[in-house]
Amino acid sequence: MNIERLTDYWIKYKEYFELPEPENDEKYKWTVLAQVFEKWDWKAPNKVEMFKNTFEIQGNQNLWVSRDYFPIKHTNWMFEVFPNETIEAFNNLFDETTPILDRVKKFIGFYHEKLPLLKALVPDKKINYHSHGDMRATALYLYLQNPNKYYLFKFTMVKDFLLNIGEQSIKMGKNENLELFFNYSDKVLDFIKSDTEFLSKYNEFTHEQNKYKDESLHLLTQDFIYFISKSNKINLQSNNNTNMSIVEDIFEGYKLFLSKTNYAPKSQEIFLDVAKTYFKVDWKKEFNSEFKSTNLTKKNIYELWEYCKSKKNRFKGDYNFIQFLETYFHLTHNLNSILYGAPGTGKTFNTKKLAVEIITGLEFNDSDSDRKDILRYYNDLNTKGYIQFTTFHQSMSYEEFVEGIKPENNNGKVIYEIKDGIFKSICTEAQTRKSISFEDAYLNLIEELKHIDLLDLKTPSGNTFSISLNRNNNLSLHTGEDRGKQGTLTKENILKQISGEKKFIGWEGYFLGVINYLKSEHNYNGSLSQDYGKYVLIVDEINRGNVSAIFGELITLIEEDKRKGNMEEIIVKLPYSNSDFSVPSNVYIIGTMNTADRSVEALDTALRRRFSFIEMPPIPEKLSTIIEEDLEINLSKLLFKINQRLEILINKDHQIGHAYFMGINSTKDLKLVFKNNIIPLLEEYFFGDIGKICLVLGDNFMELVYNKSSEIKQALAISKVYKEIDFVLDKQVFKVKNIDYLEAKDFISIYQDPNIEED
């Protein structure tokens, strides 16, 4: 694990731990678990009664109960209906002679097996899951039985914890997640044990009246992990003077922003409270000064914003605050951008970096840890649909990009449906107003459907239909007495129905049946958030496609002032679906352009006017030095000299990027790069004119094939008809030497004059 990052979190955690309740809203755990452990005894003669009494306590019980999570209630019912079998299932779970994953799988399988029997006892009620499938409750039972070995578990906690400490994330539904988490927890516990000063204070805390003693420190470990999972990736520093200046400046600007809007500033007091708690600032002072922007950085602002969002969710939904930040601190990005430069300048990676920064509001540098974070964020956002990636090519069409008619096999019959292209799909997703809790409710429904074949639902008019889960995590629709499959209710189309799109003629009842079920059984509240989020479409090699043909009429709609919601908004009627369409303002387009293929000036004029261009030049300074056999190959100087010569011989658009030389540690690595990348690129630049490659790399890389007129005459065929060969007798023919036989001194010769010794 990244101990440095863990240490940063630990410093902040200790500050947070000192806060009293309710400012530290996790300290209830020590109080309620003291009551639970006092009653828990699996050796008790009456285990059924013991289990029931254990969880009848005073205080917060959300470790084992919430709106849609009720494992204790379910288990008590299991004890009533299947007492001996349930006791045996717990005995097997607590059997330490059996591997943990086998025990957990068998235990959860027991609940799956008994669920249909329980449902049959109450046919008038809908009971579709038992709250044990995610292993949260199972881990609780293990922890109660053996608090010196196990820890409290929650999937979202573990996923976010791993993300924040820079480890590989996990996927829901895998039993291996539990064992993985226990292993990480043991490592965190070892880290905590080194802080003897804090542990001494912690011991005093746990020995207060009515507190759980936590002698194994497993509860402390879990609480620290939970703290990390709820923290922002970037740790805030605790310099009170600097932070006070930052908060004052931000709050001053926020007050000014609110005074210019019709928004009721309901969050001012909350903001003050959060800032006081976190920054330990005395807020008796009333701010009356003009808005200031000193000492403010984008990083500072977003750090505070992320903290405010995480503080009991009290700021969640106050998008006026983030709008203020973007407006007053110029945090917005261009809606349409193209990163252009020579091959190997890192354009594609930087599109990922820019996309992540646009969506998350975070800033990243070029360190290895930040590069890993960028890719981790990118993969997560791409999976969730916030980022889409495509590459333009000569065959790319409007039908693939916007919409078109495509054949589809349906039960042996070929039907033609209008399909959304990648751009229309992301625009539709971006402007669909999502419920505050829709994602969670839909995930719960998916989890429920994994354990049953068909789920019976009703339309608003009372007609019965069924749904099942397909391999794409969408809902298959089944109707009629035989429950024949009729089609698919996709997640995207459910969202469209929620947003009021009128296109599901004849199927509205099925969509509404699903939506009503999400409300009644999975606590979907149906309200809509004010924030649509930000979405990014990355178009690699944007200059290689026929832009006019691919974008069609949408080339006008992507302009900022022509987008949805702006004064000059333009709505067009699409040719295939005949539906109205406009481009939302929260969709960003990032393209890349290889200048060796085409210069900016030669790019489609319509595209050039609508995009901002960001140059990605070669950066030789990023490169290191190879030390081998008492010789140093300065890669920075080598690349600089190559590019200087290419600019003279061709132009700067045909230089070579630093990315080709990143991660090179030996002459062997350098040879491979020259053999596989640099030489072929130069041959392409000079159309096979090896002599000009000699002017770039020098004599050490070239050898003459024919140099004497006699050799040339001998090589040519003898012709009695054509004898005018004088024009080639003085010609020199070169070839590139075999790179495998070159030495370190040959690469040094590219940038070093052999007659000049360096200092």
Q: How far apart are the first and last CA of the chain?
A: 43
**Is the model's pLDDT at 605 over the cut of 80?**
no
**Is the model's pLDDT at 609 over the cut of 60?**
yes
In Å, what is the CA distance from 45 to each residue of 38, 48, 87, 424, 672? Answer: 16, 9, 12, 65, 73
**Is the model's pLDDT at 756 over the cut of 50?**
no
**Is the model's pLDDT at 236 over the cut of 50?**
no
Token digits for 30?
């020590």
Token digits for 408?
């589809």
Model confidence band, residue 526 (pLDDT cutoffs 50, 70, 90):
low
Query: Average pLDDT in the 22-33 region?
Result: 88
Q: What angle do CA 663, 669, 671 make, to 5 degrees?
A: 135
- How far is the C-alpha of 207 from the C-alpha of 273, rounded, in Å? 30
**Is the model's pLDDT at 374 over the cut of 50?**
yes
Dihedral of the alpha carbons of 404, 409, 415, 417, in degrees to the nearest 10: -30
pLDDT of residue 190: 94
pLDDT of residue 298: 45
**Is the model's pLDDT at 659 over the cut of 80?**
yes
Least confident of 8-12, 224-228, 370-374, 678-682: 370-374
Higher pLDDT, 21 or 477: 477
pLDDT of residue 287: 32
- How far is the C-alpha of 19 from the C-alpha of 21, rounded, in Å? 7
547-572: pLDDT as tens digits = 888 998 898 899 888 888 676 889 99
**Is the model's pLDDT at 228 over the cut of 70?**
yes
pLDDT of residue 320: 47
Query: Average pLDDT in the 391-397 region?
Result: 90
- How far is the C-alpha of 246 from the C-alpha of 302, rounded, in Å? 11
Give buried/exposed letters for 168-197 (b at 16+ CB in 10 A, else e): eebeeeebebbebbbebbeebbebbeeeee
470-507: pLDDT as tens digits = 887 889 999 988 788 888 888 878 877 776 666 567 78
Least confident of 242-251, 484-493, 547-556, 681-690: 242-251
Percent of the chain with pLDDT over 90: 36
- The dihedral of CA 429, 430, 433, 437: what is its sign? positive
pLDDT of residue 141: 96
pLDDT of residue 452: 85
45-88: pLDDT as tens digits = 999 999 999 999 988 888 888 756 789 999 999 999 999 999 99
169-180: pLDDT as tens digits = 777 667 788 999
84-102: pLDDT as tens digits = 999 999 999 999 999 999 9
pLDDT of residue 278: 42
pLDDT of residue 173: 67
Q: Quick one: how far is CA 404 from the chain centroid?
A: 30
125-176: pLDDT as tens digits = 767 678 887 789 999 999 999 999 999 999 889 988 888 887 877 776 677 8
Percent of the chain with pLDDT over 70: 78
Token digits for 469?
């889960």
Peptide bond into 460 cis (omega under 30): no
- How far is the C-alpha of 728 from the C-alpha of 718, rounded, in Å? 14
Average pLDDT in the chain: 80
**Is the model's pLDDT at 108 over the cut of 80?**
yes
292-350: pLDDT as tens digits = 333 444 444 445 555 444 443 334 344 445 445 444 444 457 889 999 899 999 999 99
pLDDT of residue 536: 95
- Between strands 702-706 and 535-540, the pairing is unpaired
Higher pLDDT, 417 or 616: 616
